[in-house]
Chain A
Amino acid sequence: MKYYCLIIVLFLTIIGCEEPVKLDLPSGEPSTIIDANISESNVISRVVLSKSLGFNDTIDFPPIENASVVLSNNTTSFSFNYVSTSSVGAVYEAQNNVELEEDQFYFFSVYLPGSIEDPDTLYQASMKMPTKVPIDSIGFKSTNEPDQHVLRIFFTDPENERNYYSWRVSQKINGQFVLLSNNKVPLYTDQGIDGKSVFVEFTSKNFSESDTIQVHFKSLTRDTYDYYRALNNLIDVSGTNTSADNPRSNFISSAGDQSFGYYSLEGVDDSEVFAVGDTL
Chain B
Amino acid sequence: MSSSLLFAQKRVKEKYDFDFDEVSWSEAIHTLSKECNLNFIYSDDNLPVVNRFTFQKKNATLEEVLTALFDGKFLGYRMDGDDVIVSVIRIPLDSKEGRRLTRYPVNGIIRDQYSQETVIGATVFFEDISIGTVSNFNGFYSISVPAGKYLVSIKSLGYVNLDTIIDVKGETEMHLNLKVKETKLREIVVLSSNSEVYDGILQLSNITTVTPEATNELPLILGEGDVMKSLQLMPGFKSANEGSSEISVRGGGTDQNLFLIDNVPIYNATHSLGFYSIFNTNSLKNVQTYKSGIPAQYGGRGSSVIDVHLKEGNNQKLRFSGGIGTMSANATLEVPIIKDKSSFIISGRRPYTDLLSSSTRGEINTVLFYDLSSKLKFQLDKKNTLSVSAYFSRDKLAFQNISSSEWGNKTANVTWSSLLSPKTFSNLTFWYTNYDVANIVNNIPETSYRTTYALDDYGLKYKVEQYFTPDITLKAGIESILHTYNQGSITPFDEESIVTPNDPQDIRAVESGAYMDFEWNMNQKVKVGLGLRYSRFDNVRNEREYIYDIEPFLLQADSISDGNIIDTVRNSGISFDHSYHNIDPRFSVSVALTPQQSVRVAYDRMTQYAQELALTTLPSNSGVWIPSNKYIKPLINNQYSIGYLTKSRDNMYDFSLDAYYKTSDNILEFKPNGRYIVTDHVETDVTTGIGQSYGVESIFRKRKGKLTGSVSYTYSFSFIKIPQINNGNWYPTNQDQRHVFNILASFQISKQIQFSAVWNYASGRPYTAPIGKYYKEGYVVPIYGDRNKARLPSTHHLDISLTFYRKMNEQKKNESSFNFSIYNVYARKNTYSYIFRSKNNNPQELETVKVYLFSIIPSFSYNFKF
List residues of A whose CB falls within 8 A of some B CB.
1-4, 6-23, 25-28, 30-31, 33, 35, 37, 48, 50, 52-55, 57, 61, 87-89, 179, 181-183, 185, 191-194, 196, 198-201, 203, 226, 229-231, 233-248, 260-262
Contacts and interface: CB of A to CB of B under 8 A. Distances in A.
B775 A26 contact: no
A99 B365 CA distance: 49
Contact of A260 (B774, B832, B852): B774
Interface in B822-866: 829, 832-838, 840, 843-844, 846-855
Contact of A262 (B405, B776, B833): B776
B783 A260 contact: yes
B851 A17 contact: yes
Contacts of B426: none
Nearest to B854: A15
B854 A11 contact: no
20 contacts: A3-B441, A15-B243, A15-B854, A17-B851, A23-B834, A31-B774, A48-B775, A54-B771, A54-B773, A55-B848, A88-B844, A182-B778, A193-B500, A198-B498, A234-B781, A234-B784, A239-B833, A243-B787, A244-B770, A247-B673
Contacts of A199: 444, 446-447
Contacts of A233: 673
B397 A235 contact: no
Given A55-B846, A238-B616, A6 B404 contact: yes
B175 interface: no
Contacts of B834: 21, 23, 239
Interface string B272-289: 010100000000000000
Contacts of B835: 18, 237-239
A1 B403 CA distance: 8
Contact of A33 (B275, B397, B775, B853): B775
A201 B444 contact: yes
Contacts of A27: 771-772
Contact of A15 (B443, B498, B768, B853): B853
Q: Which 5 A-B pairs have the closest CB atoms?
A: A239-B833, A3-B439, A28-B771, A4-B622, A239-B835
A245 B772 contact: no
Contact of B443 (A33, A55, A201, A234): A201
B231 to A, nearest CB: 22
Contacts of B855: 17
Given A201-B444, A260-B783, A262-B776, A7 B405 contact: yes
Contacts of B492: 192
Contact of A26 (B273, B675, B769): B769
A8 B443 CA distance: 17
Contact of A243 (B365, B446, B670, B770): B670
A15 B273 contact: yes
Interface string B758-774: 00000000001111111
B451 interface: yes
Nearest to B365: A10
A238 B622 CA distance: 15
B775 A21 contact: no
Given A16-B832, A19-B829, A242 B734 contact: yes
A10 B851 contact: no
A157 B156 CA distance: 69
A72 to B, nearest CB: 22
A45 B405 CA distance: 39
B443 A1 contact: yes
A28 B444 contact: no
Contacts of B618: 7-8, 11, 240
A110 B12 CA distance: 103
A199 B446 CA distance: 8
Contacts of A230: 673
Contacts of B510: none
B776 A7 contact: no
A25 B769 contact: yes
A13 B358 contact: yes
Contacts of B397: 6-7, 10
Contacts of A247: 673, 781
Contacts of A243: 670, 672, 768, 787
B102 interface: no
A234 B782 contact: yes
Contacts of A16: 832, 851-853
Given A1-B441, A240-B618, A192 B449 contact: yes
Contacts of B783: 28, 31, 52, 55, 246, 260
A198 B446 contact: yes
Interface of B: 243, 273, 275, 358, 360, 365, 367, 397, 399, 402-405, 439, 441, 443-444, 446-447, 449, 451, 490, 492, 498-502, 614-618, 620-622, 670, 672-673, 675-676, 734, 768-779, 781-785, 787, 790, 829, 832-838, 840, 843-844, 846-855
B778 A13 contact: no
Contacts of A246: 783-784
Contacts of B616: 4, 7-8, 238, 240-242
A4 to B, nearest CB: 4
Contacts of A52: 772-774, 783
Contacts of B403: 1, 3, 6
Contacts of A26: 769, 771, 785
Contacts of A2: 676
Given A26-B771, A53-B774, A248-B673, A20 B451 contact: no
A12 B443 contact: no
B399 A6 contact: yes
A233 B441 CA distance: 18
B444 A19 contact: no
Given A55-B771, A231-B779, A4 B367 contact: no
Given A15-B854, A52-B772, A181-B843, A196 B498 contact: yes
Nearest to A261: B776
Contacts of B775: 33, 35, 48, 50, 61, 88-89
B745 to A, nearest CB: 27
B778 A261 contact: no
A262 B775 CA distance: 11
Nearest to B490: A192
B273 A10 contact: yes
Given A61-B775, A235-B837, 5 more contacts: A14-B365, A22-B848, A28-B785, A53-B772, A203-B443
A148 to B, nearest CB: 13
Contacts of B847: 20
B451 A3 contact: yes
B404 A198 contact: no
B781 A7 contact: no
Contacts of A244: 768, 770, 782, 784, 787
Contacts of B622: 3-4, 7
Contacts of B676: 2
A7 B854 contact: no
A191 B490 contact: yes
Contacts of A25: 769-771, 790
Contacts of A88: 775, 844
B777 A239 contact: no
B851 A12 contact: yes
Given A4-B620, A240-B833, A231 B490 contact: no
B675 A55 contact: no
A184 to B, nearest CB: 8
Given A181-B778, A240-B617, A226 B675 contact: yes
Contacts of B614: 242
Query: Which of B492, B676, B840 gathers most chain A CB within 10 Å?
Result: B676
B441 A192 contact: no
A11 B273 CA distance: 7
B439 A179 contact: no
B490 A14 contact: no
Given A6-B397, A235-B837, A35 B850 contact: no
Nearest to B614: A242
Contacts of A12: 851
